[in-house]
Structure 1
Amino acid sequence: MAKLLFSGISVSCSSFSCHRTRTIVATNSVPKISLPRLPLHNKGLVAELNINNYISSTTIATNHAKDDSFYDSAINSCSKSNQVSMEVAKLHLIMEIVADRVEMHKNVGTQRDNWNHLLLTSINMMTLSAATMAAFAAISAGKAPLLALKVSSTVLYVAVTGMLVVMNKIQPSQLAEEQRNAARLFKQLLRELRTRISLGDPNEDDVNEAMEKVLALDEAYPLPLLGSMIDKFPRKVEPARWWTELKQRGERKKLSGRPKGNNGWDEKLVEELTEVVRVLKRKDLAECVSKSEKALNFNKALAISGPSFTGIAAFGSALLGSVDSSWPVMVGVIGGVLASVVNTIEHGGQVGMVFELYRGASGFLKLMEETIEQNIKEQEADTRENGDLLEIKIALQLGRSVSELRHFAALSSQDREKNCDVEEFASKLF
């Protein structure tokens, strides 16, 4: 709290309020006391004291006349400090919400990863138990043991079929990967907000942008399963998207009144980043989407095969003893074994997680592509991100040094002039 004191007026400023208080001096009547006369050689001292008192009283009167101007100046200064502190307070509030989101996604991700392991173990045990019961029923001589084993095997197969349909629909391994990605991205946003506050002078646009990023992440990675769950088997594979439109950010920077200059940009840097974007589109992004499609198609085949095998096995188990043939027991036992193998590959191998991994990687590359293109589209260099910082960021995100990135862009440009496609991918991470 800053405190200004001007001639008996106390002005107190805090982050939230300003107020002034006037000091009231009370005088009480005192008995008159006769003092001895001063000697003649001290009269000069008395005159000097009278002059000093006159000067002090004149200064106090002048200060009292300027009370309002002092107070208004203090109020304006306090209001400015109050405005800055309010934006910082809003960003701190958003940071608390983001930190809570991190814990929520982390806990939910751990829970859904446990679902995957527990459901896989339980379903495989139930499937193999049903297959064993079907085999015992085939060799049972008495009708009572045959009926008990047949019914138990059929019930287990039907229950496993229903559980598999639900498990394949929600894909617990993919759900866990979604929550891991969400926790990582919320942590990244939390670090961005801390950096923004440490740089100082945040404004309302920074607060709005932070809120938009939080809501975009909530929409991209929802917590509930029912209603808003991401489609685990989409018809068309598209990169994951968790960021807001970058055009709004460019417009906000353009209105901020930053000093004009090259801002670390030149023609060489523009050509370099343009070449990087071209390779990202043609090779890296296309490769990630292609791997996502392969993982999705393989997961679809496994998701259909597992319940199909258990359903066929349930049908064979139900016909044990009713048909004078060996094919019901073969169907009941072999179907259960095949279903266990398929379920282990699908959920033990976490094929859904692999699909989400490549989908998230393609989204990361798509964000990098849009960031570079948005900066290049800006007409004035001072409205872009700093060119030197952007080059370092892009190089590290691709797993390269700045010199390696420049060398790669030069080689790619030479191959393009020769009508040859560059063999190397832009990213060394994926």
Structure 2
Amino acid sequence: MATLQNSSIVCSSSSSSSSWDRRGGIIRATLNAPRITKNMSLSGLRSKGIVEELESHNFTDRKLSPININTFKRNDNDGPEPLVIAKLYAILEAVADRVEMHKNIGEQRNNWNSLLLTSINALTLAAAAMTGIAATSAVGGGAPVAALKLSSTVMYLSATGMLSLMNKIQPSQLAEEQRNAARWFKQLHNQIQTIIDMGNPATSDVKEMMEKVLALDKAYPLPLLGAMLEKFPANVEPAVWWPEQRRRQAKGLDGKKGWNGWNGKLEEEMREIIGFIRKKDKADYLRLGGKALKLNKFLAISGPVLTGLAALGSAFVGSPNHDSWAVVLGVVAGALASVVNTFEHGWQVGMVFEMYRSNAGFFKLMEESIESNLIEKDMERRENGELFEMEVALQLGRSLSQLRDLADSSSGKAEEEVEEFASKLF
């Protein structure tokens, strides 16, 4: 009987074989197992035997990748599209930059109002004083009187030009526009951040945010030449800084379709709120805005006219035929111009007009937002009813119970009989 003295397993790429060495009585056996290469799936080796793996793979004719790239493709339903997130962050950065720009320019234009008001009043009062001095020295005549007359006339003319420019651009109104723009851009910044934090943003969100940015740029332009808003419009219209209301996507808060919090009672309540806002709050601010506009127009015309008349009077001071009325015109008109200028720009009548116009725009936005939900017949495309009711109440400075009481009171009475306004904020 032969004794097995040694055995070895040698891994090679050839088939297995055995041989008998008669001299040493040794059996040499060689078992050739397939070499584990990069073409073999390691997970397959764990789940199947070596024999089945050999039978199922042809290592000489096929080249297999160790990683199946299809398993690493993102499923669109598993998370938000990275490109959509990147676009929203790009818009977010642009909005943050606009907030800073409007804030800085608003401060600059507010400084314009203060500096121009001080400078013009100083010129006007100095010219009036010089006209009075020239009138008292007119008896002696001579070069000093002529110098005083010329200086006061030049100062009045300078004040007239500066005041005309100031009344045209209305720095206090410009500053209010930039303050409003910074406020709405901050609000838009928060909206975009909320969309990102809630997750699953869509391409429609990117389009909507882009439209809101462009609408704000159009409503509150930064440059003055060629893009400045009309400071003395023929009719007072609410400020509009939002794009046209579009049809919403059919998606609830959890991304699923279903009941959206709306019912007949809530719809009736929102209709009453719309009527109340339209006939009380928005109408009142448009009426006040019209009064502020008329007052501002009157003051903007009166100031340069008075300084112009004062310049004319100062030029005729000392004239034998026109001395009396020239002195009165040169001194009194200058003093009145200073008062008018202080009242217009010191009290910032242009800013008050813009504030009324912006408030009317705020109620117009609420009105359109409510109407866009009520017009939509598909409940799933509306904003969530409970959330929307809470947002309306917060925007009006009311609790939910106060909002419902307001709707009940307006439905039981005519709007003229209800004394209170919908908003308790302003």
Within a 5 Å distance, the mapping from 1:213-292 to structure 2 comes to 213-246=212-245, 248=246, 250-253=247-250, 259-292=256-289
TM-superposed CA distance for 1:251, in Å, is 4.1
Q: For residue 211 of structure 2, what is the amino acid of its counterpart?
A: E
Give the structure 1 partner of residue 49 of structure 2. 55
TM-score (norm 1): 0.82
Q: Does 2:408 match 1:414?
A: no
Residue in structure 2 matching 1:337, options 316, 335, 338: 335
Q: Secondary structure at the match of 2:339?
A: helix
Give the structure 2 partner of residue 13 of structure 1. none
TM-superposed CA distance for 1:420, in Å, is 5.8
Identity %: 55
State the alpha-carbon separation in 2 of the partners of residues 137 and 183 from structure 1: 50
Give the structure 2 partner of residue 356 of structure 1. 354
Q: Is the 8 A contact 1:134 1:333 kept in 2?
A: yes
TM-superposed CA distance for 1:260, in Å, is 3.8
Give the structure 1 partner of residue 209 of structure 2. 210
Distance 1:156 1:253, change over 3 A: farther
Give 1 or 2 for the bigger CA radius of gyration. Answer: 2
Q: Is the 8 A contact 1:317 1:332 kept in 2?
A: yes
Within a 5 Å distance, the mapping from 1:379-398 to structure 2 comes to 379-398=377-396
State the alpha-carbon separation in 2 of the partners of residues 173 and 61 from structure 1: 86
Structure 1 unmatched runs, 5+: 1-26, 28-50
State the alpha-carbon separation in 2 of the partners of residues 359 and 385 from structure 1: 27
Q: Is the 8 A contact 1:258 1:382 kept in 2?
A: no
Give the structure 2 partner of residue 370 of structure 1. 368
Distance 1:209 1:53, change over 3 A: closer
Q: Does 2:74 match 1:89?
A: no
Deviates more, 1:385-394 or 1:317-326: 317-326
Q: Secondary structure at the match of 2:49?
A: helix
Q: Secondary structure at the match of 1:233?
A: coil
State the alpha-carbon separation in 1 of the partners of residues 86 and 185 from structure 2: 19
Give the structure 1 partner of residue 33 of structure 2. none
Structure 2 unmatched runs, 5+: 1-11, 13-44
Q: Deviations over 1:352-396 (max 9, x none)?
A: 000000000000000000000110111121110001111110001
Distance 1:302 1:54, change over 3 A: closer
State the alpha-carbon separation in 2 of the partners of residues 292 and 331 from structure 1: 34
Aligned residues: CA RMSD: 2.8
TM-superposed CA distance for 1:77, in Å, is 2.0
Within a 5 Å distance, the mapping from 1:27-38 to structure 2 comes to none
- Aligned length, in residue pairs: 378
State the alpha-carbon separation in 2 of the partners of residues 361 and 84 from structure 1: 38
TM-score (norm 2): 0.83
Which one has a larger percent helix, Structure 1 or Structure 2? 1
State the alpha-carbon separation in 1 of the partners of residues 416 and 336 from structure 2: 47
State the alpha-carbon separation in 2 of the partners of residues 253 and 392 from structure 1: 21
Give the structure 2 partner of residue 110 of structure 1. 107
Q: Deviations over 1:11-49 (max 9, x none)?
A: xxxxxxxxxxxxxxxx9xxxxxxxxxxxxxxxxxxxxxx
Residue in structure 2 matching 1:122, options 94, 119, 127: 119
State the alpha-carbon separation in 2 of the partners of residues 69 and 383 from structure 1: 47
TM-superposed CA distance for 1:82, in Å, is 9.3
Q: Secondary structure at the match of 1:407?
A: helix
TM-superposed CA distance for 1:84, in Å, is 1.1
Q: Secondary structure at the match of 1:95?
A: helix
Q: Is the 8 A contact 1:259 1:382 kept in 2?
A: no
Residue in structure 1 matching 2:423, options 412, 415, 427: 427
Distance 1:194 1:311, change over 3 A: same
